[in-house]
Amino acid sequence: MNLSHIEHIGIAVNSIEEANTFFEEILGLKCYAIEEVKDQKVKTAFFQIGQTKIELLEATSEDSPVAKFIAKRGQGIHHIAFATDDVDASLKEIEEKGVRLIDKVARKGAEGLDIGFLHPKSTFGVLTEICGKRKL
């Protein structure tokens, strides 16, 4: 497997508008994109810092995974995403090594990337995402 860097860290927030103030006005980062990912029932906001991004996640419905996460655990780090050049191949390899997957094949995430999640119960309580450029 060829993981190159931490692509992003996902942070669950009640309100992107409120959280943006901290990242923009206090930390001085620039929100370069806001995008709704309907499939995941979230609105996302992105900040670039070096090779890595911060992805703010706001639920767009009550049954969103992010709404459930905040109800149970409060706002905070929701997931960590590793970059790879082949998401399907990485997921397959990880599964073969005995890790429980949420996504057996890549699906489309924010920024048009391929994404796939590993189950937090199999990854020491940290929801882990593998993501990379979408294959044509």
| C-beta nearest to ligand CMX: residue | 65
Phi, psi dihedrals of residue 27, rounded to the nearest 5°: -85, -15
Site of interaction with ligand CMX (CB under 6 A): 10, 37, 40, 42, 55, 57, 65-66, 68-69, 72, 78-79, 102, 109-110, 117, 119-120, 125, 127
Report how far apart, in Å, the C-alpha atoms of 121 and of each of 11, 77, 128 are: 19, 16, 10
Using the minimum distance from each CB to ligand CMX, give the nearer residue, 26 or 128.
128
What are the structure tokens assigned to 65, written together?
């995974």
CB of 85 to ligand CMX, least distance (A): 19
CB of 129 to ligand CMX, least distance (A): 7
Q: Are 28 and 39 in contact (CB under 8 A)?
A: no
CB of 41 to ligand CMX, least distance (A): 7
CA distance 123 to 130: 13
What are the structure tokens assigned to 92, written together?
């397959």
Using the minimum distance from each CB to ligand CMX, give the nearer residue, 25 or 69.
69
CA distance 43 to 61: 10
Using the minimum distance from each CB to ligand CMX, give the nearer residue, 94 or 127.
127
CA distance 75 to 134: 30
CB of 123 to ligand CMX, least distance (A): 8
Using the minimum distance from each CB to ligand CMX, give the nearer residue, 104 or 119.
119
